Amino acid sequence: MPTMADVARSAGVSVATVSHVLNGTRPVLPHTRQAVLDAVDALGYTPNTLARSLVTSRTRSIGLAVSAISNPYFTEILQGVEAAALAAGYGLLVADPHDDPAHERKVVQLLHERRVDGVIVAPSARPRDLVAYLGRHAVPAVFLDRALPAGDPAAGDPAHGRSPFDQVCAENTGPMADLVGHLAGLGHRRIGLVAGLPGLSTTEERVAGYRQALAAAGLPFEEGLVVSGHSESAGAERATAALLSLPAPPTALVTANNAMTIGALRALRERELAVPDDIALCCFDDFAWADLFSPRLTAVAQPGREIGGRAVSVLLERLATPGRPTRTVRLPCAFVHRTSCGCPEGRDGPAGRPPAGTGGTTEPSAPLERGTAS
């Protein structure tokens, strides 16, 4: 089996230069780098990652814990993480915590025991054990999609409202307010919300956006119009059926993720209600087939791949500079206007304008970063 020394002799360079080329630890002249790569190909050299990890205490691998099997939205995030990790020369180990706090803690421990350099996690609604484990073992970690609320005791420093971990999430409150405000602008006065799993930051932020839009439109908040679909299809089907059974049911409906949109549509079909003629529908989370429904679904599109890619870059920055302050990165969403809200084809939004704060169909604005002391 060829060694690094064989590659160095073939390329006419030092072993250290070969190491720098393969590990990206120091700039190398282009023609020298190419000579090394040609020698690697000609000899069929394969780096001994196990030996390298013993020397560097790094395995150049990242652990990812997201519920990608049960939630299609996380599939896009996984693709973003994988692409960014591969581009940086890192391998990826993936585990599905199933949004269960006990299982979440277990799979992250298993990833850590496999000596990943750091982990990226979409935390459950009750991540106390997870946070305690990561803190106790000083595991470099980035939370994505779901943030730890400031001041939450699970964050470890409730007195100062600091998160002990970097976080990469989409904006939730403003885009949800845009969806609900759009429906209010179309004349709807009873707007139902099928909310996500209680305790998740995404759920709390989207409910806050719903309430914000009602207040801006001068509409009262009615607790009975907000029901939990528990972030999954079957729960949303039951929740939508409950809303439709109210003495005064909503005339418009907003679902807070793509899985719940499917459940809501099942419930509407069971009642033989047509969208948007009988009830308007908007959803938080665009998805690949939303444009194929009849009517086409008006939605907020989250930048799933960008969230995954940015989480990798933030984790690599953490590995390079362990002592820097933690920060939260918020990426903007986009309003995707179609026809399920009741607007005619081709109209951008109320009075021909896209809702404020999401950029309509234009390029989203730059991500917002919030730094907090670590």
* Domains present along the chain, CATH in parentheses: 4-47 (1.10.260.40), 61-169+305-331 (3.40.50.2300), 173-302+332-365 (3.40.50.2300)
pLDDT (mean) for 197-213: 96
Written as one letter, the residue type at 87 is A
Asked if the model's pLDDT at residue 89 lies above 50, the reply is yes
Rounded distance between C-alpha atoms, residue 293 and residue 266, angstroms: 13
Per-residue confidence (pLDDT) for residue 22, from 0 to 100: 79
Q: Exposed, middle or buried: residue 234 (CB in 10 Å: 0-12, 13-18, 19+)?
A: middle
What average pLDDT does the segment 96-117 reach?
92
pLDDT grade for 165, boundaries at 50, 70 and 90 = very high
Average pLDDT over residues 142-166: 68
**pLDDT at 353 (0 to 100):** 43
Task: Choose between 25 and 161: higher pLDDT.
Answer: 25
DSSP assignment letter at 5:
H
Instruction: State the average pLDDT over residues 240-246.
Output: 98
Residue 148: its pLDDT value, please?
Answer: 84
pLDDT at 66 exceeding the cut of 50: yes
Q: What's the pTM?
A: 0.79
Span of 1-15, 52-66, 131-145 with lowest mean pLDDT: 52-66
pLDDT category of residue 69 using cuts at 50, 70 and 90: low
The arrangement of strands across the sheet holding 298-301 comes to 226-228, 191-195, 252-255, 280-284, 298-301, 334-336
Which DSSP letter does residue 254 get? Answer: E
The Cα 160–Cα 199 span in angstroms is 21
The confidence band for 201, taking pLDDT boundaries of 50, 70 and 90, is very high
> Which residues are CB-neighbours of 208 under 8 A, at least 6 positions away?
173, 176
Angle separating helix axes 4-11 and 30-43, nearest 10 degrees? 120
Confidence of residue 360 (pLDDT cuts 50, 70, 90): very low
In SS3 terms, 315-358 reads as HHHHHHCCCCCCEEEEECCEEECCCCCCCCCCCCCHHHCCCCCC
Average pLDDT, the chain: 86
Q: Which of 338, 224, 233 is nearest to 282 (CA)?
A: 338
Q: Which of 271, 265, 275, 372 is nearest to 325 (CA)?
A: 372
Over residues 204-228, the mean pLDDT reads 98
DSSP letter at 155 equals: G
